[in-house]
Amino acid sequence: MSALLTDLYQFAMLQAYHDGGMRGTAVFEFFVRALPERRNFLVAAGLQQVLEYLEGLRFTPEETAWLAGCGRFKRSFVDFLAALRFTGDVAAVPEGTPFFADEPILRVVAPLPEAQLVETRLINLLQFQVMVASKAARVRLAAPGKLLVDFGLRRAHGAEAGLFSARASYLAGFDGTSNVLAGQRWEIPLYGTMAHSYVQVHGSESEAFERFARSQPAAATVLLDTYDTEAAARKLVRLAPKLAREGIAVAGVRIDSGDLGELARRVRRILDDGGLRAVKVFASGDLDEHRVQALVAGGTPIDGFGVGTRMNTSADAPYLECVYKLQEYDGRPRRKRSQGKATWPGRKQVVRRFDGHGFMAGDVLTTADAVPPGEGLLREVMRNGRRLEAPEPLETLRRRAQDGLARLPESLRSLSAAPPYPVTVADTLRALAEEADRRAASSEAEDA
């Protein structure tokens, strides 16, 4: 992605920093100010894309020519941009880890212009994957043991949203996606059935099913609800013996409209009575964690769910109150004190404690240099602009997320709003905030 994918104000600030020779070390952290009402936890995701972005950050000659020609910037500043690379350090919470409000999941330590320039794209990359992974984790918790497939590409917000949705939902415990490019890019298992149009272009539903089954002799999942769902199931039962004689077995059926629970029960009965006990029932259509949970709780005979739009747009919480904030510059802690938007200053660490059964028992938000016992969640992942380790395989992230979900306190695993997970602020951090405030107050008094 082009390095011009950023806000104009980044260049305006960098121009001023360049004019003033301001290249001191800046520390920024990314965190979410408050959890959305319907989220008891968030899941870290998107770090891999952040590191790729930082490693690849550079302006092409075409881009610097455009910047030089747009009339806003000095030649010496454009030359500075042409040579700019990301040379900083990054610490981060590993992807797949549950986290909470105010806990930084990414820290950038870099010369001021570099640390500032990357703000827009870092937020753009992290917010979305965190949001979808967190939503997908709720679907996973609602449907233990069920096949879950991301079906949301078409109504995701553009191409990248579709791709990142597939990755983030798989990371959070989905079994696969319908998104072929995501399958190719990240080796995510692919699933697919057929569209209503497939049935409609054929002379009859039976003909449509038969041709589809022949075309995929072991893997076909046919769609039942183009005309009449139960009638379609009966047609499949009549068709099965003929196909079986040729070694062809239909793998599954999909129901995409109507009362999914009631139709699934009736279809299951028709299939079972017709000897098609091995055929799986798959449901889709306007699903989210609540609808999936209701279907599962009813003991409905549905083997898998295609979950799309509502997950890929995180429809009930389509953005997070997330920020990438300056914490320190030139060795001094900084904090913003805008009304209702004050932040904790300095380089921080999140320390997680577990109880005797391995469940998460509480986190401490602390200064990075005075860490109490427990597991420090932020780990160094990049130094001087280079990754310290090869990218973690997606399967590793997926296992971490499953482990993380299993260790959540039971109340947080519920889809309903639970009392917040305990995150306490260490005394060292409170002291640092007071120090930052005292210094700011004295320089403001001078400035007033």
Q: Phi first, then psi: what are they for 346, rounded to 5°?
A: 80, 175
What binding mask, one character per residue, do residues 424-443 give for a copy of itself by CB under 8 A, x or -? ----------------x--x
Contact pick of 200, 384, 411, 424 for a copy of itself (by CB under 8 A): 200
The total number of residues written for the chain in this structure: 448
When asked if residue 300 is in the footprint of a copy of itself (CB under 8 A), the reply is no
When asked if residue 446 is in the footprint of a copy of itself (CB under 8 A), the reply is yes
Q: From CA 445, how far away is CA 447, in angstroms rounded?
A: 5
Q: From CA 201, how far away is CA 189, in angstroms rounded?
A: 29
When asked if residue 134 is in the footprint of a copy of itself (CB under 8 A), the reply is no
Is the Cβ–Cβ distance between 152 and 309 less than 8 Å? yes
Helix extents (H) in 258-300: 260-273, 289-297
Q: From CA 108, how far away is CA 110, in angstroms rounded?
A: 6
Q: Dihedral sign for Cα 179, 182, 184, 190, please.
A: negative
When asked if residue 186 is in the footprint of a copy of itself (CB under 8 A), the reply is no
Instruction: Please give the size of the binding site for a copy of itself, defined by CB under 8 A.
Output: 113
Contact pick of 60, 79, 214, 380 for a copy of itself (by CB under 8 A): 214
CB of 352 to a copy of itself, least distance (A): 27
- Kindly tell me which of 109 and 360 has the beta carbon lying closer to a copy of itself: 109
Q: From CA 105, how far away is CA 47, in angstroms rounded?
A: 9
CB of 53 to a copy of itself, least distance (A): 10
When asked if residue 11 is in the footprint of a copy of itself (CB under 8 A), the reply is yes
CB of 137 to a copy of itself, least distance (A): 18
Triad 119, 123, 127: Cα angle to 5° = 170
339 to 358, contacts with a copy of itself by CB under 8 A?
Answer: 339-341
CB of 389 to a copy of itself, least distance (A): 25
When asked if residue 169 is in the footprint of a copy of itself (CB under 8 A), the reply is no
Measuring CA to CA, how many Å separate 256 from each of 151, 250, 382, 394, 436?
12, 18, 45, 30, 57
CB of 276 to a copy of itself, least distance (A): 18
When asked if residue 64 is in the footprint of a copy of itself (CB under 8 A), the reply is no
When asked if residue 329 is in the footprint of a copy of itself (CB under 8 A), the reply is yes
